[in-house]
Amino acid sequence: MTPISCRQRELTIGELSERSGVPTSALRFYEREGLIHSRRTSGNQRRFGRDMLRRIAFVRVSQRVGIPLAMIRDALGLLPEGRTPTREDWARLSQCWHDDLTSRITQLERLRDNLTDCIGCGCLSIDRCLLANPDDVLSQRGSGPQRVFTE
């Protein structure tokens, strides 16, 4: 009943790095941060399952969207444990980002149009117009809660 031998070979960190395009230093960092996992050989080296490739892909895409790692980790925590995630699992996760992206796009458009208005109308009140209602468009890059999802 056990499958013949189509056994997916595990990947070393170097192989994972090459296939994912992510430096080994970053991969170790991701593991420390709980974004990916590995088993260890008897000699204490990491061996990654192929599914980690997809996790890494998800991480990088999410980062491009501007989502901090901690939040990505939380999202990955929603994946089922024990079994390999299905397409539906990934779709559910990605749907979050899709909604978030739409919301960000809307906010950026608002900001852009406000900017145009302020310049166009000659009110010269960049400060009043644009700072009065801080839409919290993009990360306050430093500390503080990120509030990426529209709460």
The full 3-state SS of the chain, as one line of letters, equals: CCCCCCCCCCECHHHHHHHHCCCHHHHHHHHHCCCCCCEECCCCCEEECCHHHHHHHHHHHHHHCCCCHHHHHHHHCCCCCCCCCCHHHHHHHHHHHHHHHHHHHHHHHHHHHHHHHHHHHCCCCHHHHHHCCCCCCCCCCCCCCCCCCCC
Contact status: 137 vs a second copy (CB under 8 A): yes
Within residues 70-89, the interface with a second copy by CB under 8 A covers 87
Q: How far is the CB of 41 from a second copy (least distance, A)?
A: 25
**Binding stretches for DNA (CB under 7 A):** 12-15, 17, 23-26, 28-30, 41-46, 63, 68-70, 140-143
How many chain residues bind a second copy (CB under 8 A)?
46
Nearest distance from residue 149's CB to DNA, in Å? 15
